[in-house]
Amino acid sequence: MVNVHCLNNIATIGLDLFSDDYNTKSSFEDAQAILVRSAKMHDMELSDNLLAIARAGAGVNNIPLDKCADAGIVVFNTPGANANAVKEHVIAAMLLASRDILGGNQWVQENKEDADIAKSAEKAKKAFAGQEIKGKKLGVIGLGAIGQLVANAAIALGMEVYGYDPYLSVNAAWNLSSKVKHIVNVEDIYKECNYITIHVPAMDSTKGMVNKEAFDIMQDGTVIINCARDVLVDETAIKEAIASGKVKKYVTDFPNATTAGMEGAIVIPHLGASTEEAEDNCAVMAVKQIVDYIENGNIINSVNYPNCDMGTCKTAGRVAVCHKNVPAVISKITSVMGDEGINIEEMSNKSRGDYAYSMLDISEPASDSVVDKLSAIDGVIKVRVVV
């Protein structure tokens, strides 16, 4: 039985994919696999039983990735599974920043007892007039699964779109409308665009990336949309930029002590991916990735280990080894097999930063002694007999 613990609600359509060999009601301590959405895991004690964590969503800033990698725990996310939901949310954010629909709705609520509200509305409405987004310039910073959908949708809505992504994948480039202007210096987005939306992960290198220097070169009245993570925008600087008129509206999906009451901000309670469809898609993708890892050792969409996919095992045994990305580990692994008279039929080794992963399909199932010898190799973190 494989023990699974859900730290947050995970859509049933995903959990139903687990066979009877999985117990999805396990305690956290006994779990071999964890499914999580937004629960903060940085201060949690991770048990030695734990093999994998799957984040049903894109952002993984709630998970201690290096601590997990050091313990041989593979962390997965579900890139693209909620991208359409976030895209629609960003388009809604742009429209809310352009037309005072929220102000107008508030006026109706305040005047709901007025028997003549239909007439009064015609007089009041001029206070809530706005602008169209057609013909305006939108800058998209980060053209991953979400950014590219936002860029293409904005083109379809008649906007002029500037796209910036120094790490653009070939796949993303293929999916991007040829009408999106390729921007090499992010400063050009800040200088040129009326609307700017951010779609990059929260990392040390991206924290506070939209800062005072960026606001200083923007046009007056720029709209900033942040459905990625609050830490990407310097909130002290944006408050000042709103006060000075550089920023007309800050639409953020992240309420916190600074943004919640911020004048000129539209603050939404992290609803970007909160659609039935996105929650289902993320749950299905997360569960499939966990099952493939547990049953086959394959790693697909990990954020702390390299991807490694050898399909299903067709030999008598398969061993998976999480290890440090340092010289001589692979030769020592193959020596152990040779010394034990085991033939390696197929092997894959992949690395990512400081960590690496090796899978070996072998001529006989690995014995306890093979596992002990592999585990004793300097740099080996975790050895698992998959088959």
Q: Which residues bind ligand MLT (CB under 6 A)?
A: 37-38, 57-59, 82, 272-273
24 vs 18, 44, 51, 54, 182, CA distance in Å?
A: 8, 19, 15, 14, 46
Instruction: List strands edge to edge, sheet with 317-324.
Output: 344-352, 355-362, 317-324, 380-385
Provide the b/e sequence for 322-343 (b: ≥16 CB within 10 Å). Answer: bbbbeeebbebbeebbeeeebe
Q: How far apart are CA 23 and CA 17, in angstroms?
A: 12
Give whichever of 59 and 255 is closer to ligand MLT, judged by the CB atom.
59
Q: State the residue for tokens 């004048």.
A: 263
Instruction: Give the full edge-to-edge strand order of the sheet including 33-36.
Output: 22-23, 2-6, 33-36, 52-55, 74-76
Shortest distance (Å) from residue 283 CB to ligand MLT: 11
* Residue among 260 and 271 whose Cβ is closer to ligand MLT: 271
Amino acid at 354: D
Which H or E run includes 266? strand 265-267
Rounded to a whole number of angstroms, the minimum distance from the CB of residue 337 to ligand MLT is: 40
Least distance from ligand MLT to the Cβ atom of residue 351, Å: 26
Least distance (Å) from ligand MLT to the CB of residue 365? 39
Closest CB to ligand MLT among 261 and 269?
269
Q: How far is the CB of 205 from ligand MLT (least distance, A)?
A: 18
Closest CB 210 distance from ligand MLT, rounded Å: 17
CB 133 within 8 A of CB 92: no
Nearest approach, Cβ of residue 37 and ligand MLT (Å) = 5
Instruction: Specify the residue, 38 or 169, whose C-beta has the smaller distance to ligand MLT.
Output: 38
**Is 181 or 207 the residue whose CB approaches ligand MLT more closely?**
207
Taking alpha carbons only, the member of 14, 10, 11 closest to residue 291 is 14
Output Rg (C-alpha) for the chain, integer angstroms.
25
Considering the complex, state which of residue 38 and residue 171 has its C-beta at the smaller distance from ligand MLT. 38
Nearer to ligand MLT, 56 or 308 (CB): 56
Question: Is there a contact between 133 and 251 (Cβ–Cβ < 8 Å)?
Answer: no
Rounded-to-integer distance, Cα 329 and Cα 155, Å? 50
CB of 266 to ligand MLT, least distance (A): 17
Output 32 or 259, the one with its CB closest to ligand MLT: 259
Q: Cα(255)–Cα(132) distance, rounded to whole angstroms?
A: 27
Work out how close the CB of 117 gets to ligand MLT at its nearest, in angstroms, rounded to a whole number: 38
Phi and psi of 40, rounded to 5°?
Answer: -85, 120
Query: How far, in Å, are 278, 293, 355, 364 from residue 385 at the CA level?
Result: 34, 12, 19, 11
